[in-house]
């Protein structure tokens, strides 16, 4: 969860930076390790009725949508 992001675009940009950082190779015992990430986005609307549990559930569902679409993907929040 990230605070201070006020719209879907800001969340998407932050998610893209996270994926870029996580995807960089890491030196391990003379070799190289690579990992990836898929991210699902959910946004809290102050005037909405979302609960923390509901936001986590939505982000989790969207993450699995991103994984089904391919490696290193971001699934945007519901409109």
Query: Which residue's entry shows tokens 């391990």?
Result: 28
pLDDT tens digits, one per residue of 29-77: 999 999 999 999 999 877 777 888 999 999 999 999 999 999 999 999 8
Neighbours of 61 (CB within 10 A): 14
Geometric angle at alpha carbon 17, from 4 and 73, rounded to 5°: 110
Query: Which residue's entry shows tokens 């982000």?
Result: 59
pTM of the model: 0.83
């Amino acid at each position: 969860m990230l605070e201070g992001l006020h719209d879907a675009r800001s969340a998407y940009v932050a998610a893209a930076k996270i994926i870029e950082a996580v995807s960089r190779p890491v030196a391990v015992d003379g070799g190289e390790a690579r990992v990836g990430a898929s991210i699902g986005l959910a946004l809290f609307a102050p005037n909405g009725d979302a609960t923390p549990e509901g936001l986590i559930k939505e982000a989790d569902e969207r993450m699995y949508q991103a994984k089904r679409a391919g490696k290193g993907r971001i699934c945007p929040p519901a409109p």
